[in-house]
């Protein structure tokens, strides 16, 4: 029977600073899906459908995103993830993370190695990204300028460009992907106020510590993603003892949404090879 992700109830894990929201289905090895920045668990619907028959699939909303509560004091996303894995008795888990979510996954392998069985990341290396390419810097600058002007729609237009990448126009991207990326981004922004403090605390020295990761790592990157995102995944997989990198065609920063069949095939092959 095919799982309809939208029909799954949103559940909540209480923490000392509000609740973390997630959806869960299936049984077996835990497969935990970690969304990108400004998005939420809905970006993983194709993966929830594909893997629910073989895995216990858990898709969370990071603090301050989706249905999870905002922070009221300093916190680290990796500590939230550790609390979720322990609270749901879901460790060791295979962590699948895109962009920000991939950084959190890598952080977890560094900070809580006992909770991680394997890592599958996309469009990221660690939680300390390196952005140098002119196209990337312009998109980030346009997002920041729109926010400063209070132009949320303008911000969403710039944010959606990650789905196109630097090699094509947004009009060439599946309109449903663009719609969902914009919708998730705006929903996240509207959870916060312009004067709200940023309580997030970063994990440090991540790149220096990456060679200590001892679990299998795969990077599944969209072929049309930016050179910066390709460089980070290549760096990550070259530094770990058991790392490999694969490319998904016809996709930019969201290969799991833009070419889900190819993304799922690569992820399934990786899972099948795990000891």
Q: pTM (2 decimals)? A: 0.98
Q: How far is 32 from 88, CA to CA, in rounded Å?
A: 11
pLDDT 10s digits, 194-207: 889 999 999 999 99
Q: 49, 48, 25, 26: which is closest to 35 by C-alpha?
A: 48
> What is the homologous superfamily of the domain 5-130+198-273 according to CATH?
Alpha/Beta hydrolase fold, catalytic domain (3.40.50.1820)
What pLDDT score was predicted for residue 260? 98
CA torsion sign for 124, 78, 82, 69 is negative
What pLDDT score was predicted for residue 194? 87
- CB-based contacts of 49, cutoff 8 Å, min separation 6: 2, 3, 4, 5
pLDDT 10s digits, 43-73: 999 999 999 999 999 999 999 999 999 999 9
**Residue 250 DSSP code:** T
What pLDDT score was predicted for residue 2? 83
178-208 as b/e: b if 16+ CB within 10 A: bebbbebbbbbbeeeeeeeeeeeeebeebbe
Q: Can you list the residues of the chain whose pLDDT is less than 70?
A: 1
In order, the DSSP letters of 143-156 are HHHHHHTT-HHHHH
Residues of the chain with CATH 3.40.50.1820: 5-130+198-273
Q: How far is 260 from 222, CA to CA, in rounded Å?
A: 11
Three-state SS for 163? helix
């Amino acid at each position: 029977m095919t799982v309809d992700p939208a029909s799954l109830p949103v559940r909540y894990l209480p923490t000392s600073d509000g609740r973390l929201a997630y959806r869960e289905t299936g049984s077996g090895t835990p497969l935990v899906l970690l969304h990108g920045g400004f998005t939420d668990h809905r970006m993983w619907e194709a993966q929830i459908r594909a893997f629910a028959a073989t895995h216990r699939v858990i898709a969370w909303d990071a603090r301050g995103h989706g249905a999870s509560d905002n922070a009221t004091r300093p916190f680290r996303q990796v500590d939230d993830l550790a609390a979720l894995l322990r609270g749901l008795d879901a460790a060791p888990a295979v962590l699948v993370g895109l962009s920000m979510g991939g950084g959190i996954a890598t952080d977890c392998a560094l900070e809580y190695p006992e909770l991680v069985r394997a890592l599958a990341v996309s469009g990221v290396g660690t939680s300390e990204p390196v952005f140098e390419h002119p196209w990337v810097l312009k998109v980030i600058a346009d997002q920041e300028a729109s926010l400063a002007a209070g132009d949320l729609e303008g911000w969403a237009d710039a944010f959606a460009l990650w789905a196109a990448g630097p090699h094509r126009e947004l009009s060439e991207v599946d309109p449903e992907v663009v719609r969902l990326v914009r919708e998730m981004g705006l929903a996240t922004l509207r959870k916060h106020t312009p004067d709200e403090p940023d309580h997030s605390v970063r994990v440090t020295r991540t790149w220096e510590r990456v060679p200590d990761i001892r679990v299998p790592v795969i990077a599944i990157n969209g072929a049309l993603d930016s050179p910066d995102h390709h460089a980070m995944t290549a760096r990550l997989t070259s530094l770990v003892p058991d790392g490999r990198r694969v490319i998904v065609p016809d996709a930019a920063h969201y290969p799991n949404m833009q070419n889900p069949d190819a993304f799922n095939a690569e992820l399934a092959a990786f899972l099948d090879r795990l000891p």
